[in-house]
Amino acid sequence: MGLFVAGVNPRRPVFPSASQHLADAAARRALLGAVSGHRSLSEGLFVAADGRLELYAVADEGCDAYDIAAGLFGAVAEGEVAGALYFAEGIDAASHLFAALCGLDEFARGPREGASLPGECDGLAAAGELSQPGGRGALGAPGLPDALAACWARALSEARKAATLGDALTRLAAAASGLSSALSAADASASTAALAETAVELARRVFGHLERRCVLAAGAGDFSLALAGAFLGAGVERFQVLGDGNCEEAARVLGAPVADPQLLSALLVDADIVLAESAVEGASLDRRLMKGVVRLRRGRPMLLVDASADGSLIDHRVASLDGVFLYAVADLAAITRDAPWARLGTDDARERLFADAVRTLALQMG
Amino acid sequence: MTLFVFEILCILFYGAASALGAFGLRRGHRRAARAAKGVYLTAVAAHSAVIGMESVSTAGTLLSGPNIVMLASWVLAVVTAVGLLVTRRGLAFSTVAAPVVALLILVSQWLRILDPAGADNMAFYHWPLLVPHIVLVFVALACFATSAVSAALDWYQRRLMAARSAKVLELNTPALDTLALISRSAGLVGVAVLIAAMLIGFTHLVALYAAMAQIGTEGNLGYLVPRVALSLVTTAVWSAFCALSFLAPWAASARTRDALAIAGLAAAVLLIAVSAG
């Protein structure tokens, strides 16, 4: 299979003119027409947007794909193109696309961070798959992952209309689509990890060391269980679970028995951190109850996290009580946005998904 | 001089017994409670030795004003000691009684100073009372400053948390619990030290007045009135802070306690300024 990718290095002088020219859909259609008419190319699509100009194509065996790409880009760029391209072929071309989608390439991490090659280039070079004759630029894919996904979708649409989409690129597109879906799911779970870390940090700002603190999980669901897990990892040793029969799993994970909702007041006096996700029959966290609890706690602070979807499980007026700090999921998300751990779990998940996607496609390609 | 030293030791032992007893009772700390009992009984023994030495030095105990007060303090101390050994609630009673006994000992010394014909205690005239007085005042000021700074940080951090601001995670300050603990502990130590300083200062005042009366001059001690008044105000503010922090934390909000601490520091600084002026 002669799949390859060639792109114009955005750090070279020819990039702006080429980018400006290919910003026009008609220009891209004309270029796809040139691909369609080329005797050595069977498939092709152009990814063109701010910071990215790439040609994904399938060339016949034995022909110089780099020269073909240089010729195609040279028709739209002002200046010398041959030495301003980055290039990869075979599974490395697919790997390049997947790395860009996962935000793992040099440009996704941060612009202008130096001239070092991105990690995927090191791997490609070590595998001997990367063709880098003299004068050829470093491999890199500029632009944010989300923008790339949108550009890729447009490129597919245009290639489909121009009838330059074949089996190889279709298979590549399917793999990219699957990877995007997996990334979305991973981001959701990673954001849960980040929110949990924020809750733990807030607890540390209130209590300092968490070893002697008690966490009460009321109406435990997936999210509050994730929060409780984060507190468990942070050193909390005492947990209480309050539920009306659906919390056995949470009780098992946290090593705590399920308490009777009638004992809510007593449980709250002992609990320093409360995680409430769903309503429990006979247990309502209202201001009147919390006022009595605050008095019995003799001024010790409390951190309450309303983990319900709409943040209305705990009475908002509770926040006005002295020493009671109430946070809803939206509040945690707002704080997490600028936190250093905002991408907690994201990078590891993305690297894992990237590796899986490359391995799967390599097996399919044979 | 030996008698004077023993009396000072008595006062210190009673004070320590009271502090240990309060800590042991509040925290349920058995070792502190046992130590409080031991220190109290030691204080009673020293107290008994003082009365014995005084009686020997004067060939019997004259039932004059100072001696009556001293004997009354000893009776209270002994009764409390018996209760401490026999009853279950003896520790709580001794925690309250010990500072009263110490104060009665001090009062008896003041009366003795004012009545030099009754008993001769020249130690108060020769001992540089002002030195420990000033040192203790500045130690108290340091404690108050620590408490007030912690209270201010606590106030600021609570405001950020109430506003659900992300800035709270950028702060490099101790946790709220820690700040509150530092604030109330420093405040308590400060008020105890300030009260000790005030007692020494008052003793100096009494000695000064007695010395003037002895040489027949009428000195003007009115310049001390602002200092005494501000000392009482400062003590009152910090006492209120300690009472709200330790005994009734639900009675006032954390913001009120923090404001009290900051006001108490302002009063202490004003006291220093007036004293130095």
Tell me, what's the ipTM? 0.70
Task: Check whether B161 has a pLDDT greater than 50.
Answer: yes
Q: Is residue A366 part of a domain?
A: no
For residues B171 and B262, membership in a common domain is answered with yes
For residues A44 and A125, membership in a common domain is answered with yes
Q: What is the mean pLDDT of chain A?
A: 80
According to the model, what pLDDT value does residue B200 have?
Answer: 87
For residues A239 and A277, membership in a common domain is answered with yes
Q: Which residue of B has its CA nearest to A335?
A: B166
Q: What is the mean pLDDT of chain B?
A: 86
- Specify the range with the lowest mean pLDDT, choosing from A343-352, B81-90, B168-177: A343-352
- Specify the range with the lowest mean pLDDT, choosing from A84-88, A111-115, B175-179: A111-115
Q: How many CB pairs under 8 A join A and B?
A: 55
For residues B144 and B240, membership in a common domain is answered with yes
CATH number at residue A30: 3.30.460.30
For residues B62 and B138, membership in a common domain is answered with no
For residues B135 and B165, membership in a common domain is answered with yes
Q: How far is B176 from chain A (nearest CA, A)?
A: 5
Number of domains in chain B: 2
A337 contact residues in B (CB cutoff 8 A): 166
For residues B105 and B239, membership in a common domain is answered with no
For residues B60 and B187, membership in a common domain is answered with no
Q: How far is B166 from chain A (nearest CA, A)?
A: 5
A198 contact residues in B (CB cutoff 8 A): 169
Q: In which domain, by residue range, is A220 found?
A: 191-337
For residues B265 and B146, membership in a common domain is answered with yes
For residues B86 and B119, membership in a common domain is answered with yes
Contact B166 A301 (CB under 8 A): no
CATH number at residue A229: 3.40.50.720
Q: In which domain, by residue range, is B86 found?
A: 2-126
According to the model, what pLDDT value does residue A142 have?
Answer: 42
According to the model, what pLDDT value does residue A246 have?
Answer: 67
A331 contact residues in B (CB cutoff 8 A): 164
Helix (H) or strand (E) holding A180: helix A167-207
For residues A156 and A64, membership in a common domain is answered with yes
Contact A201 B169 (CB under 8 A): yes
According to the model, what pLDDT value does residue A181 have?
Answer: 82
Contact B169 A319 (CB under 8 A): no
Find tokens 């699957």 and name the residue: A178
For residues A125 and A203, membership in a common domain is answered with no
**A185, A210 in Cβ contact below 8 A?**
no
Indicate which of A195, A202, A204, A205 best probes the interface with B, i.e. most B CBs within 10 Å of its own CB.
A205
Mean pLDDT score, A306-334: 87
Task: Check whether B39 has a pLDDT greater than 90.
Answer: yes
Between B140 and B215, the higher pLDDT residue: B140
Contact A205 B177 (CB under 8 A): no
| Chosen domain end from B126, B141, B174 | B126
According to the model, what pLDDT value does residue A140 have?
Answer: 37
Residue type, A173: A
Between A349 and A170, the higher pLDDT residue: A170
Q: What percent of chain A has pLDDT over 90?
A: 11
According to the model, what pLDDT value does residue B125 have?
Answer: 59
Number of domains in chain A: 2
Mean pLDDT score, A175-195: 79
| Chosen domain end from B126, B152, B173 | B126
- The model carries a pTM of 0.63
Q: How far is B182 from chain A (nearest CA, A)?
A: 13
| Chosen domain end from B110, B126, B142 | B126
Write the DSSP assignment of A286-299 as a string of letters: -HHHHHHHHHHTTT
pLDDT tens readout for residues B197-249: 998 888 888 877 777 777 776 667 677 888 889 999 999 999 999 999 998 88
Rounded alpha-carbon distances, angstroms, from residue A316 to A279, A325, A333, B231? 15, 10, 18, 44
Contact B161 A325 (CB under 8 A): yes
For residues B106 and B143, membership in a common domain is answered with no
pLDDT tens readout for residues A237-268: 888 888 766 677 777 777 888 888 888 888 89
User: How many Cα neighbours within 13 Å face the side chain of A5?
Assistant: 27
Out of A207, A323, A334, the one facing B254 most closely (by C-beta) is: A323
For every residue of chain B, which 3-state class applies, written as one string? CHHHHHHHHHHHHHHHHHHHHHHHHHHCCHHHHHHHHHHHHHHHHHHHHHHHHHHHHCCCCCCCHHHHHHHHHHHHHHHHHHHHHHCCCHHHHHHHHHHHHHHHHHHHHHHHHHCCCCCCCCHHHHCCCHHHHHHHHHHHHHHHHHHHHHHHHHHHHHHHHHCCCHHHHCCCCCCHHHHHHHHHHHHHHHHHHHHHHHHHHHHHHHHHHHHHHHHCCCCCCHHHHHHHHHHHHHHHHHHHHHHHHHHCCCCCCHHHHHHHHHHHHHHHHHHHHHHHC
Between A110 and A230, the higher pLDDT residue: A230
Q: Is residue A71 part of a domain?
A: yes
Q: How far is A213 from chain B (nearest CA, A)?
A: 12
For residues B160 and B108, membership in a common domain is answered with no
According to the model, what pLDDT value does residue B257 have?
Answer: 94
For residues A230 and A307, membership in a common domain is answered with yes
For residues B107 and B211, membership in a common domain is answered with no
Contact B168 A205 (CB under 8 A): yes
Out of B161, B177, B255, the one facing A207 most closely (by C-beta) is: B177
For residues A157 and A9, membership in a common domain is answered with yes
Q: How far is A265 from chain B (nearest CA, A)?
A: 17
For residues B116 and B185, membership in a common domain is answered with no
Out of B166, B174, B245, the one facing A335 most closely (by C-beta) is: B166
For residues A154 and A200, membership in a common domain is answered with no
According to the model, what pLDDT value does residue A128 have?
Answer: 33
Q: Is residue A48 part of a domain?
A: yes
Q: Is residue A175 part of a domain?
A: no
Q: What percent of chain B has pLDDT over 70?
A: 90
pLDDT tens readout for residues A13-71: 888 888 888 888 888 888 889 888 888 899 999 888 767 889 999 998 888 889 889 88
Q: What percent of chain B has pLDDT over 90?
A: 39
